[in-house]
Amino acid sequence: MTSIHLLIHTKLQHNVEILCSNLSRYFLIAIFRSKPAQNTILQPKHKCLVRWCSLVIVISVMATVVVVPMFVHFATEPQVINNEQALFTAQCVTAIPKTTLDIDGQLAVASWNIYKQQNSGWQTLLSQLADQNQLLLLQEVKLSDEFQQWRQQSQHKLAMVQAFRQGDTPLGVMNLSEVSASQSCGYLTSEPIIQFPKSSLLSYFPLSNGETLLVANLHSINFEYALDSYAEQLQQLLPALRAHKGPIIFGGDLNTWRQARLSMLSQITMVLGLKAVTPDDDTRSTVMGYPIDHIYYRGLTLQSARVITTETSDHHPLLAQFKVGDS
């Protein structure tokens, strides 16, 4: 694919995603919030809103079904790579960690949706996060040549599950860590409207107290008002999370842009015994007034949490400092 074609399809896919995002977050919510009382006649403004939403739905579906598959390849099965396995061929990959993830009982973690590295300055902020944290949970990573060059310079270990490809470039969630995960497994769930897969990653790391840390990195379903696909993605991970007896970190871009999503997430994290990381100065990225980036934990002691505000992405990184073991 030529550079011109790559630019065209990248811009096209980005515009379709924005269109569908606006559709799901704003137009659907507007319909529900503007819904007139039962047995009343639709007012002209409601009729106009419904017609406009219908038009947007038709355009979005046509663009997604007809145009996007010409440029974007959707993954049909979850496939993961790490430093030892360079090809996307298996759902789970393994490695032998040379040491523990924490350093003298201290563990620094950051979660950041990197926005496909579309904005300038991402290398600087990513380097800062990598220098200050032993574990990075990244979403919307585009495994471009430019990103590969950055990673080779940083010497960090990676595990990534591919959601889809733009041309030959994989995109999905990724863990970057100072130590290899002993095992990483990927999962996929498709968006109900636009059919783009969303990816999740489960990884296991040794800790200095002899326990094994299970890390769940999610880019949650976004483009639906209902909760069916959102719940399906979370349910995929529950068997492994329930079976794990040690500490857990559960985080990512969880797209909790309405109360029902937050409530479902709270129910699941409560069952798993997870606590939420909430910075005192909570400047996390929000949609409809709700924070959408989260870190939950158990079996660790939270020492501090903060947010780095940036224009490098449409999300602000969320950082947490832990001590290994419960206090």
| 153 token code pair | 């310079």
**pLDDT digits 0-9 by tens, 57-85:** 556 555 555 555 557 888 889 999 999 88
Give me the residue label for tokens 């060059």: 149
Copy the structure tokens of residue 141.
């990573």
Helices (H) and strands (E) counted in the chain, each on its own, are 7, 17
Based on the domain organization, do 33 and 80 belong to the same domain? no
What average pLDDT does the segment 183-205 reach?
95
Is 169 found in the same domain as 131? Answer: yes
Picking from 11, 41, 70, the residue at the C-terminal end of a domain is 70
Say how many domains are in the chain.
2
* Single residue among 19, 52, 70 that ends a domain in this structure: 70
- pLDDT higher at 39 or 147: 147
Same structural domain, 274 and 191: yes
Where in the sequence is the domain holding 15, given as residue range(s)?
A: 3-70
Helix (H, G, I), strand (E, B) or coil at 207: coil
Whether 171 and 200 share a structural domain: yes
Are residue 80 and residue 57 in the same domain, yes or no? no
What are the pLDDT digits (tens) for 27-64?
Answer: 444 444 444 444 444 455 555 665 665 666 556 555 55
Return the CATH number at 317.
3.60.10.10
Instruction: Assess whether 149 and 237 both reside in one domain.
Output: yes
